[in-house]
């Protein structure tokens, strides 16, 4: 009887220990996954998410290839981002990739911007551009950008190409979201508490709608007698080693950050300057951390 009871206690203890180890492993795994996903995720604010529920459009490939016209024909977006401030220009560049020949096309190209609702349905045409293209050479870059002089909202840009006789050649489209300019940026650090010699990660998040850029310069400051001063143990470029450019809602690359072994304990912060392409405004961003023994 005692043997059976002892075995029962032993099995119960093993089961509890196993459960605790399992829960602990889940906790550690979830923390590791969360940190890993932070660096793998390149979107800070998903301004283009609304387009995913809309009808699919006939867009050029990433290389600009289309299924009409000469094989060397390329059509690429004039803007890298589908999120732009009103009064910006949206559209496509049309050119030849590698072919040196001269093509006689006799095209009538119509570009237009259509205001749409949240389901992707047309509401009204707000801008139109028409142009005849008789010849295309490898030295030519045709710009079919159309200024958008409307209020913030959802739009679709259509490029329709036909022969001057009226015969359809091809068409491409992409969605556009016009937004108010918003300069909002944050500097994140993976750990708020670090030990001497620890490694962490830092990154810049563009939470706004304006395009940002920043250089490799970054400074580490220490709080000494109620005043922030530069920490000499950290070099001015201790974290970011390259310049970066962020479109609306993008997250910058994660950069390795290490606390020197000789740094004193105390309160610190990372300090970085970020500039917006909109009116060339700059902003100092900061994030605090503590160094402990």
Q: pLDDT per residue over 270-292, tens digit each?
A: 999 999 887 778 999 999 999 99
206 pLDDT higher than 80: yes
Q: What is the pLDDT of residue 149?
A: 76
How much is the CA Rg of the chain, to the nearest whole Å?
A: 28
Q: What is the pLDDT of residues 4-38, one digit of tens each?
A: 344 343 334 434 444 333 333 333 223 333 343 36
Asked if residue 112 has pLDDT above 80, the reply is: yes
The model carries a pTM of 0.78
> Which region holds residue 100: left if phi is over 0, alpha if psi is between -120 and 50, else beta?
alpha
Q: Which of 155, 82, 151 is nearest to 115 (CA)?
A: 155
Q: Strands 83-84 and 168-178, how do they pair?
A: parallel
Of 11-25, 34-48, 250-264, the range with the highest mean pLDDT is: 250-264
Q: What was the pLDDT predicted at 239?
A: 54
**Tokens in use for 159?**
């490029």
Q: Give per-residue pLDDT as tens, 175-200.
A: 999 999 999 999 999 999 999 999 98
Beta strands 141-143 and 89-90, pairing class: unpaired
In the prediction, which pLDDT does 24 show? 36
Q: Which residues contact 187 (CB under 8 A, 6 or more apart)?
A: 202, 203, 204, 205, 270, 272, 285, 286, 287
């Amino acid at each position: 009887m005692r043997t059976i009871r002892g075995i029962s206690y032993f099995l119960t203890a093993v089961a509890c220990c196993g459960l605790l180890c399992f829960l602990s492993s889940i906790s550690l795994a979830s923390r590791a996954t969360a940190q890993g996903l932070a660096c793998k995720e390149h979107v800070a604010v998903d301004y283009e998410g609304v387009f995913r529920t809309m009808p699919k459009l006939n867009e050029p490939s990433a290389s600009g290839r289309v299924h009409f016209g000469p094989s060397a024909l390329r059509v690429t977006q004039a803007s890298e981002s589908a999120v732009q401030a009103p009064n910006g220009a949206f559209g496509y560049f049309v050119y030849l990739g590698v072919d040196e020949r001269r093509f006689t096309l006799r095209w009538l190209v119509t570009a237009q911007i259509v205001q749409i609702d949240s389901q992707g349905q047309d509401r009204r045409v707000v801008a139109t551009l028409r142009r005849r293209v008789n010849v295309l050479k490898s030295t030519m870059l045709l710009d079919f950008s159309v200024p958008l002089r409307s209020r913030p909202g959802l739009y679709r840009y259509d490029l329709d190409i036909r022969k001057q006789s009226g015969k359809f050649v091809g068409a491409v489209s992409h969605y556009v979201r016009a937004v108010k300019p918003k300069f909002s940026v944050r500097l994140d650090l993976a750990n708020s508490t670090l030990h001497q010699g620890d490694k962490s990660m830092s990154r810049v998040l563009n939470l706004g709608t304006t395009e940002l850029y920043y250089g490799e310069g970054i400074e580490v400051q220490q709080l000494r007698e109620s005043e922030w001063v530069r920490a000499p143990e950290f070099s001015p470029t201790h974290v970011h080693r390259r310049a970066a450019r962020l479109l609306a809602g993008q997250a910058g690359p994660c950069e390795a950050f290490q606390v020197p072994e000789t740094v004193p304990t105390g309160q610190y912060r990372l300090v970085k300057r970020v500039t917006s392409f909109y009116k060339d405004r700059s902003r100092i961003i900061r994030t605090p951390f503590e160094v402990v023994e």
